[in-house]
Amino acid sequence: MTATATIVPVAHPTSALLALNNAHAAELSLLDADRMARLIERAFLACRIGEADALLLAFDQAADYDSPNFLWFRDRYDRFVYVDRIVVSPAARGRGHARRLYDRLFDAARGAGHARVLCEVNADPPNPASDAFHAALGFVEVGAAHLAGRGKTVRYFAKTMSEQRESSAGPDIATDRSNDLR
């Protein structure tokens, strides 16, 4: 594993991370530097690989966050970690980055006593690579919503955390689009 494949915490937004996010705004959502800084500050886990090869931002149920997707989960679950965004740059796809970021998140969630990790994936516009990736990780669909103001329909997914870390052996199949959840 090279140094660029090391997972490191994100303490503040960089222009490269902001560009990575905004290049995939259709799947995620457009951010400015101030909004990204607030999200990072409130995150349960904010980490990256490389300067901007991959990014993950996740929140627990207590986060001060106004995302309609996060709020959908908070209305239904008492304790959880919600993946707000995960994205891998086109040049870094196929290297297992998304799977490594999720493994880090699963470890952190279990360590904090969370029983589940939640996310959403676009249904319209579709994101079949993300669908396949999340299914391979053991996520199951728990709901759906149309976000009229954002022009998209999403499906909500949950993964129950086991006591022990599950094997992450296998291919990184989320190589199409952005390994995103928006």
Q: What is the pLDDT of residue 95?
A: 95
Domain definitions of the chain by residue range: 3-160
Digit-coded pLDDT (tens) for 34-54: 999 999 999 999 999 999 999
The residue among 135, 111, 106, 118 whose CA lies nearest residue 80 is 118
How many CB atoms sit inside 10 A of residue 29's CB? 18
Residue type, 36: M
Select the more confidently predicted residue: 148 or 175. 148
Select the more confidently predicted residue: 152 or 84. 84
Digit-coded pLDDT (tens) for 85-105: 999 999 999 999 999 999 999
Cis peptide before 9 (omega within 30 of 0): no
CATH 3.40.630.30 fits 3-160, yes or no: yes
| pLDDT band at residue 166 using 50, 70 and 90 as cut-offs | low
Q: What is the DSSP letter of 167?
A: P
What are the beta bridge partners of residue 49? Answer: 7, 54
